[in-house]
A and B are shown apart, each in its own frame.
Chain A
Amino acid sequence: MIRVELPHHLRTLAGVKGHEVTLNVDGPVTVRSVLDALEARYPVLCGTIRDHVTQERRAFLRFFACEQDLTHDSVDAPLPEAVVRGKEPLIVLGAIAGG
């Protein structure tokens, strides 16, 4: 199971209790495949993390795992083994912005 940690507002929107959701991801575990699985399970999150059409990450969100900033890696790059094994979450983080 893949663990994903979501920011407060997205947890509220999706009706998620706790900080994380767990997902089954088929095939290679990448940012893209995890977000595909996340949106399939919680359709309300479509468009809130990445653009509906371009699939580009929304500018004020970042991706972290295992204390690494993965934001600018390819969304098709394999995620760290600890994420694949469920030991660490993929963290979707809202950037601190706005003063």
Chain B
Amino acid sequence: MSLVRVLAGTKKGAFLLTSDGKRESWDVSGPHFAGWEIYHMKGSPVNPDRIYASQTSGWFGQVMQRSNDGGKTWETVGNKFVYDGTPGTHQWYDGTPHPWEFKRVWHLEPSLTDAEAVYAGAEDAGLFLSKDGGKEWAELPGLRGHGSGPNWQPGAGGLCLHTIILDPKDADRIYIAISAAGAFRTDDGGATWKPINKGLYSKYIPDPTAEVGHCVHHIAMNPERPGVLFMQKHWDVMRSDDAGDNWTKVSGNLPTDFGFAIDVHAHEPETVYVVPIKSDSEHFPLDGQLKVYRSRMGGNEWEPLTKGLPQKDCYVNVLRDAMAVDRLDKCGVYFGTTGGQIYVSADAGDNWKPIVQNLPAVLSVEVQTLS
């Protein structure tokens, strides 16, 4: 029998939502780590009962948790994140040099082949790897060291490395994205990196087509087709058909192409989901109507999905890591809001319903498809 487990990180703790393959009735577990910000949780594809969680606090800093039993119990692991060598500086908001300082882990990406290996994307932007289940962390310094690091500048949320995508067909290839530096790719397991921002146009930076400096909000990939990427940039929805070497705008008929979350259908690699947000000044949906937009054409032509979603007086946001898909047939789509709702569609977006409606602001949503 199929089972799905949704891992929700919120501003005030972690919640685990479990259902069978019908995705109609849900058990809710939590809050775990009550009162702490849980930026992200993700399970190992190798051992789904191994779940990693990034627990943070403005007062007490970073704590890292892991579970070996699917989230029933947790143990703290290593929270020592030290940049390799002399960290140097990046640019501050006013353009002056600012020392690299670790603040928190935004995203955890467990290895596709080893349950003990997990990547962590940090603020200030750096990529860390643990090979012992999260006890010890070491930076992959080639990313910050490739040359443009001193020119990186934080986005409004900080200089965060928020996206990590592992290529299932090429163990040496990893994609990452940083606000507001852009997207980068390694083809040698993290030793060297190159910016992959050609085709991005950001009219509010000094050079709109600069090699780095773009505010990439999130990137998504269908694992069956790892060379094709979809990006929600600050403004603009983009796609790349050559592993990020070139990007093309596919915003098409979207009512606004600002937003944070983006994901790809588990079985239809040309079916893409975004949640348009009005603007960078007004982080809520247009006209108080929460709509997911779906393209079945890989972009450009988008249809609004509204059945079951609030269509009046809705002024929540959907953050960059707060959308996920399961691998059931039909594909389930999930997203969480800053208003504390987590919505599910068990039919690829046609119909939606809330799983929970009154959680703390949702920072991240991941889903595990278990059998």
Contacts and interface: CB of A to CB of B under 8 A. Distances in A.
A93 to B, nearest CB: 10
B59 A58 contact: yes
A72 interface: no
A47 B59 contact: no
Nearest to A15: B76
Interface residues of B, number: 13
Contact of A13 (B58, B76, B80, B82): B76
Interface residues of A, number: 20
B60 interface: yes
A52 interface: yes
B79 A47 contact: yes
Contacts of A8: 35
Contacts of A47: 61-62, 79-80
Contacts of B61: 47-48, 51, 58
A46 B79 contact: yes
Contacts of B193: none
A46 B59 contact: no
B335 interface: no
Contacts of B63: 13, 44, 48
Interface in A43-59: 44, 46-49, 51-53, 58
B284 interface: no
A80 interface: no
Contacts of B76: 13, 44
Nearest to A51: B61
A35 to B, nearest CB: 14
Nearest to A50: B61
Nearest to A53: B82
A99 to B, nearest CB: 12
Contacts of A10: 60
A9 B82 contact: no
B192 interface: no
Contacts of B62: 47
Interface of B: 35-36, 57-63, 76, 79-80, 82
Given A8-B35, A9-B60, A60-B59, 18 more contacts: A9-B36, A9-B57, A9-B59, A13-B60, A13-B76, A46-B80, A47-B61, A47-B79, A47-B80, A48-B63, A51-B61, A52-B80, A52-B82, A58-B61, A61-B60, A94-B60, A95-B59, A97-B58
Pairs of residues from A and B, 3 with the lowest C-beta to C-beta distance, nearest first: A48-B60, A60-B59, A52-B80
26 contacts: A7-B59, A9-B35, A9-B36, A9-B57, A9-B59, A10-B60, A13-B63, A13-B76, A44-B63, A44-B76, A46-B79, A47-B61, A47-B62, A47-B79, A47-B80, A48-B60, A51-B61, A52-B79, A58-B60, A58-B61, A60-B58, A94-B60, A95-B59, A97-B58, A97-B59, A98-B58
Interface of A: 7-10, 13, 44, 46-49, 51-53, 58, 60-61, 94-95, 97-98
